[in-house]
Amino acid sequence: MRAYKAAVSLSARLGGNEKARQWLEGRENVWEGLAAAFPGDRPVIWVHAASLGEFEQGRPVMEALRRQYPGYRLLLTFFSPSGYNVRKNYDGADHVCYLPLDTAANAQRFLGLVNPAMAIFIKYEFWYHYLAALHARAVPVLLISGIFRHGQVFFRWYGGLFRQLLRQMDHLFVQNEISLHMLRDIGIGPEQASLAGDTRFDRVWALRMQPQALPVIEKFLDSREVLVAGSTWPDDEKMLAAWWNDGGRQRRQLILAPHETEEGHIRAIEAAFPGAIRYSALAAGQAGPGDVLIIDNVGMLSALYRYSHVSYVGGGFGKAGIHNLLEPATYGKPVVIGPVFHQFHEAVELVQIRGALVVQDEATFRERMDALEDAYYYEQTAEIAGRYVEEHQGATGRIMLYIQEKRFLTRE
């Protein structure tokens, strides 16, 4: 951990890495903020998310806890700047901050200040010292929307120490059967691990049921069909630009929300799409109607997808794979993705049932978009996508029922 911090410091100070700088600066006043936020007058529920995606995954559970246990304060911690910067003012928590580095001293100091009645970790982030300290204090610890894969340290011959960490957690709610079987193979039985599903389905379904209006977007739109391309990377944008500038723009508008919104990246997108306007300029009244709108902020994509006729989810041409395709699917719209998606089980399932369409390059992207011009094919694909999300709700209710049955939070 100390070596990691040193590497981040070098990246920030010598390499000019903005995220590294934010990672360091964001932790400078963590202790003072925690001491002021939790004076000890009310019990605390601690929820930890790695980044923005995990926050959205845990949000339905946090909101359910707020409704059902109003006597508890809620602490939300992040590891990554990309999560903290967007949700540092989240009003569903009493305090939002970075998680101090995982050392034995930090874990003891953190728990001494917060004194949580229960801790929830979302999907992954198994910090050794924090989990060991929570176990020593007999604090109930849950993993929600967990997912496990071969190659993780828990399933290696040398992973005994980390397997013990899992066994010390009160319950692991996993997303799929594969994860459950892997846990069974290392001796974690049904009393400690169960299939609850993915809380993201509850979150994205709520987006559909309670849609958020975006007046600036509505100002931009006209009667043409809209392609919303979300969480795009340069490879995605290169493919989209080739298609768009070679006839794809006919009868369409394009809204492009890149994963990274640094100035250099936005300028590169503007060069690839001549005449494109920025969201910030449109919102400020400095730009009029157009064909291409670039979203130069972070945090509105989940609400943006509902305005699409077809959605494209980026990341599928990189090693990490696609970003969240459930957000566009929940609105009952066809979803197009790149070829790297097999590590995401919801993507695999949606592709198998033909609710998501895979492309390998500009030519196959053109084929998919042309195919969706057929009204029957379009409606079938859209219906499958929306129905898939609707049928996979319920993880939040299963988790809340367990918390109630175990009486982890008895002070309301």
Amino acid type, 256 = L
Q: So where are the chain's domains? A: 2-197+394-406, 211-391
How many CB atoms are located within 10 Å of the residue 137 CB? 13
Alpha carbons 352 and 356: distance in angstroms, whole number: 8
> pTM of whole model > 0.75?
yes
Has domain 2-197+394-406 been given CATH number 3.40.50.11720? yes
50 CB-side CA count, 13 A? 13
Buried residues in 373-398 as b, exposed as e (16+ CB within 10 A): eeeeebeebbebbbebbeebbebbbe
**Does CATH place domain 211-391 in 3.40.50.300?**
no
| Helix and strand element counts for the chain (H, E) | 20, 14
One fold for 2-197+394-406 and 211-391: yes
- The pLDDT profile of the chain, 412 residues, written as one tens digit per residue, is 777 666 666 666 666 666 666 656 667 789 999 999 998 778 999 999 999 889 999 999 999 999 999 999 999 999 988 889 889 999 999 999 999 999 999 999 999 999 999 999 999 889 999 999 999 999 999 999 999 988 899 999 999 999 999 999 999 999 999 999 999 999 999 999 999 999 999 999 999 999 999 999 999 999 999 999 999 999 999 999 999 999 999 999 999 999 999 999 999 999 999 999 999 999 999 988 899 999 999 889 999 999 999 999 999 999 889 999 999 999 999 999 999 999 888 999 999 999 999 999 999 999 999 999 999 999 999 999 999 999 999 999 999 999 999 999 975 4
